[in-house]
Amino acid sequence: MASKNLARAKNNKKDEFYTQLPDIERELGHYKEHFKDKIIFCNCDDPKESNFFKYFALNFKFLGIKKLISTHYETEKPSYKLEILEDINNDGKINLEDAVKTPLRQNGDFRSPECIEILKESDIVVTNPPFSLFREYVAQLDEYNKKFIIIGSLNAITYKEIFKLIKENKLWLGHGFKGGNAYFKTPYDKNFADGVYDDKTELVKFRNINWYTNLDISKRHEDLILYKTYNKSEYLNYDNYDAINVDKTKNIPMDYRGIMGVPITFMDKYNPNQFEIIGKMATTKVDEFNFGYPYINGKKKYARILIKHKRLK
């Protein structure tokens, strides 16, 4: 059933988007110290085509990696894995030429028992998982207490399962894509909105994509510099929750002691030492994390993250 669900996700949800090497190099350069003496697992990839596998293979010695593993997914037949451990051809370097191919008994679905055993062996998972299975994918990483650097939709911040991890400081945003634009190769028909697909580069561009990780990075400890002060006429209260509305992250008042509703994009600037995440107002459903869509004078606003200053007494 799991493999059928993954196949359905890939076919119906159009989940096959291949990350470009420059984007991978730009992001992973911030995590160099984390890779030393670690087993890196790139699942949800085609290791022969994957730029994730290529990046780690070409930088194996430089990063001091202990072992690199990548699994390939097949819809209805057994697949394979590629592993790099040492300089097997004795040419004095470790790269793609040292990859060892081993057949799998199962089809390479990240939820298969075989891939879960590889996951257990691994230290850090780095990949671009199927967007439509993002909740399930992250839940597995959390269940097995794995470190990771993965790509997902920015809207995933509002998913109940993902938001819980963000609120508990078990997951946060990475450095992000250059200019906020993520570029991907895709095998699908190029029926995208204007400005999304480039005929010359054959790449699709998305602005609502980001990197997610639970590896510590310096960015996460940088204070957001604030300059605005609170005034009642500018910062209106929501009709349905006791918090003020802030339309732009840069306009967060530095002196307001109560709860503030800020755009989802705030998460790119979130420092857990500076702010506390209270909850969100992102869907109609009310639960322990979500308090309904925000309204001001009867008018619906965009989704908001509810935060509070930590250092104000």
Q: Residue 126 sits in a domain of what CATH number?
A: 3.40.50
Q: pLDDT-derived band of residue 189, with 50, 70 and 90 as boundaries?
A: low
On the question of pLDDT at 94 being above 90, the answer is: no
- Residue 277: CB atoms within 10 A of its CB come to 19
The pTM for the full model equals 0.90
Beta strand ranges found along 154-220 (DSSP E): 172-173, 182-185, 197-198, 203-206, 209-213
**Range scoring the smallest mean pLDDT among 48-52, 57-61, 110-114, 171-175:** 48-52
C-alpha distances (whole Å) from 242 to each of 253, 260, 311 are 16, 9, 20
Report pLDDT digits (tens) over 268-302: 999 999 999 999 999 888 999 999 999 999 999 99
Q: Are 121 and 257 contained in the same domain?
A: no
108: left (phi over 0), alpha (psi -120 to 50) or beta: left
pLDDT at position 233, please?
95
On the question of pLDDT at 127 being above 50, the answer is: yes
Angle (nearest 5°) at CA 46 between 41 and 48 = 100
Question: Average pLDDT of 70-89?
Answer: 92
3-class secondary structure, 89 = coil
Structure tokens given for 278 = 């209270």
State which of 218, 240, 257 marks the end of a domain: 218
State which of 201, 218, 235 marks the end of a domain: 218
Q: Are 65 and 193 contained in the same domain?
A: yes
3-class secondary structure, 159 = coil
**C-alpha Rg value of the chain to the nearest Å:** 21
Higher pLDDT: 78 or 200? It is: 78
Question: Average pLDDT of 262-269?
Answer: 95
Q: pLDDT-derived band of residue 15, with 50, 70 and 90 as boundaries?
A: low
Question: Average pLDDT of 117-139?
Answer: 95
3-class secondary structure, 206 = strand
Q: What's the sign of the alpha-carbon dihedral 139, 140, 141, 146?
A: positive
Give the rounded percent of residues in the chain with a pLDDT score beyond 70: 93
Q: Are 186 and 230 contained in the same domain?
A: no
Q: pLDDT-derived band of residue 82, with 50, 70 and 90 as boundaries?
A: very high
Higher pLDDT: 192 or 178? It is: 178
On the question of pLDDT at 188 being above 70, the answer is: no
Domain that holds residue 166: 2-218
Q: Are 89 and 148 contained in the same domain?
A: yes
Q: Are 242 and 184 contained in the same domain?
A: no
State which of 199, 218, 237 marks the end of a domain: 218
Could you give the CA distance from residue 171 to residue 289 in angstroms, rounded to a whole number?
Answer: 16
Q: Are 196 and 98 contained in the same domain?
A: yes
On the question of pLDDT at 10 being above 50, the answer is: no
Question: Average pLDDT of 69-82?
Answer: 92
Q: What share of the chain is helix, strand, coil (3-state, %, to 5)?
A: 30, 25, 45
Q: Are 74 and 159 contained in the same domain?
A: yes
- Domains held by the chain: number: 2
3-class secondary structure, 52 = helix
Q: Are 62 and 117 contained in the same domain?
A: yes
- The answer to whether 87 and 94 have CB atoms below 8 angstroms apart is yes
Match 């004078």 to its residue by tokens: 297
Q: Are 57 and 126 contained in the same domain?
A: yes
Q: Are 122 and 63 contained in the same domain?
A: yes
Q: Are 136 and 67 contained in the same domain?
A: yes
What does the mean pLDDT of the chain come to? 90
Of 272, 223, 233, 268, nearest to 248 by C-alpha is: 268
pLDDT at position 265, please?
93
Q: pLDDT-derived band of residue 76, with 50, 70 and 90 as boundaries?
A: confident
- The answer to whether 72 and 108 have CB atoms below 8 angstroms apart is yes
Q: Are 269 and 193 contained in the same domain?
A: no
